[in-house]
Amino acid sequence: MRLYWVPQNIPELQDLSKAERKRRWSMAKRGVYRHWEIWLSIVLNLCVVFLAIFLESVYLGYHYQFLGIPARFYAIIISTQIGNQIYLQTMIYLVRREHSDILRLRTPE
């Protein structure tokens, strides 16, 4: 499975203008929420965040700081980014699999 960091990197959307790309992406992602995979990725996102908070509190304690910022802040930021990538990759996979017809529409000339 190929990873796309942002929806703009999807091959079907690369040659379009920014406005057209945004319009097609929003049309295509509407139907994604009826698939169980996207809901599983949302649950996994939350699990990753809660696991990071738990591990931070068990191994580092509540009072550990790095550069004056509590370690819990770093754990939340990093785990949220990991969870969001899981969610985004699942969404891109489902949009390309289920709604490729919307992504490949011809622009009116």
DSSP string for the chain: ----SSGGGSGGGTTS-HHHHHHHHHHHHGGGGGSHHHHHHHHHHHHHHHHHHHHHHHHT-TT-EETTEEHHHHHHHHHHHHHHHHHHHHHHHHHHHH-HHHHTPPPP-
Would you state the pLDDT for residue 43? Answer: 92
Q: Which of 4-18, 63-77, 84-98 has the lowest mean pLDDT?
A: 63-77
Percentage of the chain surpassing pLDDT 70? 83
For the whole model, what pTM was predicted? 0.73
Residue 55 in tokens: 């591990």
Q: pLDDT: is 68 or 11 the higher one? A: 11
Per-residue model confidence as pLDDT tens digits over 17-56? 888 888 888 888 888 888 898 999 999 988 888 888 787 7
pLDDT at 88 over 60: yes
